[in-house]
Chain A
Amino acid sequence: MKKVLLLLVAALLLFAGYQWLNPTPEKFIRHRLIDLAKAASFQSSEAPLAKLANAQMISSFCSQNVEISVDLPGRQTGTVAGRDEVMQGLLASRRAVSSLSVDFYDITVQLSTDRESATANLTVRARTSGDRDDYIQELRFTFQKIEGDWFIVRVQTIKTLTLLLPLP
C-alpha cells in the first residue's frame, strides 16, 4: 500500500513537473500577459536601468511588426506600429508619469484551430500617480507563434459602451 501511494505521489509530481516545463499555449500566453502587466508597472523610484530593462522586456514580447491601435474617441486615437515605436512609446510614458500600476483582469485566451495564433481578451486597470480615478479599458491581444515562441502582433481597444453616431 505504501509503495502504491509513493508511486502515485511520484507520478503526480512528474505530471506537475511536465506541465510546468511544457505549459499549454493558453497558460503560456496568460503568464506572458501577467509578466507584461508587471513590466508595464513602475514606481517613481525605478532606476533608469530598470526602466530600460522593463521597456525592453515588453518590446521583446512583441513581434517586429506589432501594431497597437487605440480608438477612444474624445480621449486618444492612433496607432503605434513596429517594435521600435513601441519601445519609444514605453520610454516616453515612463518619462511622462512618475508611477504607473497596471493590472490585467478576466484574461480569456482562445487558440485558433491551427494553434498558430491566439486572441486574448482582458480588462486593464491602470493607475497613475496624481489621477483620482483608475483607468479601465478592455483590450484584445492577438498572438502569433513565430519560430516556436508566442509574440504579440496586435493590440486593440474594445469599447464596452459604444457611442452611436448622431442621426443624419
Chain B
Amino acid sequence: MEQDQNVPKPGWLRIALVGRNPKRTLFRALMLAVVCLVTFKFILLPIRVEGISMLPTYKDRSFNLVNRLAYRLHHPARGDVVSIRTAGISLMYLKRVVALPGETVEFRGGQLVVDGTPVIEPWLKFPSNWTLPPRRLGPDEFYVVGDNRTMPPMNHTQGVASLDRIVGKVLL
C-alpha cells in the first residue's frame, strides 16, 4: 500500500498523449492504423475530383470515396457513377454509366438513346446538343460519359470502358 503511494502519478499531458496504459494505447493505435490501411486501400478509396466533366453532380476539387467492393456481386447499372482506372489507380476517370453490355447507344440532339429508346437522365442539368451515331457495346463493355456535356463531344472524355477497368462505385 505504501509502495503504491510512492509511485508518481502520470501527468495530464502524458495521459493525453499515451493514455494511462501506454502498451494498450500502442496496441490500439496499431489496430487503428491496420483498419484504416485496409479500409482506405482495399474497400473505400479516397479520391479528389478534378475537372468539370461531372458538373454539377461532382464539383471540381471535391472529396469522395470509391467503394471497391460495389461490383463484386453484380455489374454496374445504368446511372451509376464509377471510377475507371488508367495505368493504375493513382489517376482515374469519374464517369456515369449510361449504356450496358450488348446495348446500342447514341446521342440525338443532346438526348441519350439506348436501343432506340430515349433515356431520361435526371442528373443532366446543363443543355447539350450532342449528336453521335449509334454504337453497339460488346460483352463486358459499358458506355461511360460525364454529366457536363456543354462542350463539344470530342473535348469530353467518354467512351467504352471494359469491366476490368472499372474500379468501383462512387459512394457519396
Report A's interface with B, CB cutoff 8 A.
73-75, 105-108, 121-123, 125, 132-134, 136, 138-139, 158-167
Interchain CB contact under 8 A, B91 and A105:
yes
What 5 A-B pairs have minimum CB-CB distances, sorted nearest first?
A106-B88, A161-B159, A74-B154, A166-B133, A164-B135
Interchain CB contact under 8 A, A123 and B93:
no
- Known pairs A167-B133, A167-B134, A167-B135; A162 contacts B159 (CB<8 A): yes
Report B's interface with A, CB cutoff 8 A.
50-52, 84-91, 93, 95, 104, 133-137, 144, 154-155, 157-161, 165
C-alpha gap A138/B84 in the complex (Å): 12
Interchain CB contact under 8 A, A123 and B160:
no
Give every chain B residue within 8 A of A167 (Cβ-Cβ). 104, 133-136
Interchain CB contact under 8 A, B133 and A161:
no
Interchain CB contact under 8 A, B87 and A121:
yes
Interchain CB contact under 8 A, A166 and B90:
no
Which one of A74, A75, A106 contacts B87 once the chains associate, using CB atoms below 8 Å? A106
Give every chain A residue within 8 A of B155 (Cβ-Cβ). 74
Give, as a whole number of angstroms, the nearest-CB distance from B165 to chain A: 7
Give, as a whole number of angstroms, the nearest-CB distance from B96 to chain A: 13
Interchain CB contact under 8 A, B144 and A161:
yes
- Known pairs A105-B91, A136-B91; A160 contacts B51 (CB<8 A): no
Interchain CB contact under 8 A, B91 and A133:
no
